[in-house]
Structure 1
């Protein structure tokens, strides 16, 4: 089914996903805060917008996220953690996607292949953490990975051909990452979106519940 829902469609990667999918002839339904008033941190907003949608969709992609919220930069050490900054990270990067995913069962077809993806981040991998820091962001993304994995297990009971995964898009050139690129290689958002769609198109139902990077490689939990 060539119909997709993109959550966070006005962001760098979200807008690029809309462009790539539209270019492939897909029907794309968009939701974003700046255009539609969709606030992923507000449960009432999420419910109102999601309840208004009519499925089924062949794919649902949650492309929302934030690295710096309210001027709070990623912590360099655990000594810099604050309750407010951590709560804000969880609201955007973990709780918000969970509120969206609770509608996935209704919006995705029970018959035939479909995909459901949440953009998380490799820094949310506990096993891949070698240098510490960024405690709140890492923890929120790790929570998002668990939320996706749990959702995939539950939906597999009723949506046998669904692929529900967490995706690491790589380092992407967007306003979201501009301050933190440094010497890290980064790709344009359009290229990142193409990479992500190539990964989703190549995954099989037995891959559901996994965590994959932009090249289709499994990322350790």
Structure 2
């Protein structure tokens, strides 16, 4: 049995991962904005909520994030850029998971295998960007990838059995994506959850710092 902490367990993917793990008999602790008042863009909030938890946890999954924040939809052109949207995207999708990592670190074992995973997105890949657009969301996820990669290097010195990774869950049919699916194929949240759990279960310290998709395949930075 694993002890698992899910940040954002009220969302489509987070709730599906929690349900799947609990069905397998794992002990899951979930926290969210709606259930616990957790605001990952506020360090005081992150410190307060995560500081109240008791570890250690074998896995920590950050499943927070948003494509659209306060009406700031993904941009189709430079003309749509706004400083507010860029700031909001960075705060939620890049800064948030890193604040969680900072304050969840005492809950991760130093001498046993563990996983810290943050949900990223393929559109955050610079090398895979062939369509343009979605400037703020893409940039925030690219920033998250860089921040997590840097943290993995640092934590390899202190948490030698930790895999610190970014995971792309695929296009998942949730309220998060419903306005933007169009003709893109999407998978139900329970299927996405099963794939993510399979990838996380396969991770070892040798995988730390990687950016992987739902099948465990490398995504270019």
Partner Cα separation in structure 2 for residue 50 and residue 200 of structure 1:
21
Aligned residues: 221
Residue 104 of structure 1, CA deviation: 3.5
TM-score (norm 1): 0.98
Partner Cα separation in structure 1 for residue 8 and residue 192 of structure 2:
15
Counterpart mapping for 1:127-166 below 5 A: 127-166=127-166
Contact 1:8 1:30 in 2 (8 A): yes
Contact 1:105 1:155 in 2 (8 A): no
SS in 2 for 1:69: coil
TM-score (norm 2): 0.98
Residue 127 of structure 1, CA deviation: 0.3
Partner Cα separation in structure 1 for residue 155 and residue 105 of structure 2:
7
Match of 1:21 in 2: 21
Match of 2:113 in 1: 113
TM-superposition CA deviations, 1:39-82 (whole Å, max 9, x none): 11222111111111111100000000000011111000122110
Q: What is the aligned-residue RMSD (CA, Å)? A: 0.9
Gaps of 5+ in 2: none
Give the 4+ runs in structure 1 shifted more than 3 A: none
1:202 matched to 2:202? The reply is yes
1:102 matched to 2:102? The reply is yes
Match of 2:12 in 1: 12
Contact 2:50 2:104 in 1 (8 A): no
Contact 2:46 2:103 in 1 (8 A): no
Partner Cα separation in structure 2 for residue 213 and residue 78 of structure 1:
29
Partner Cα separation in structure 2 for residue 104 and residue 37 of structure 1:
17
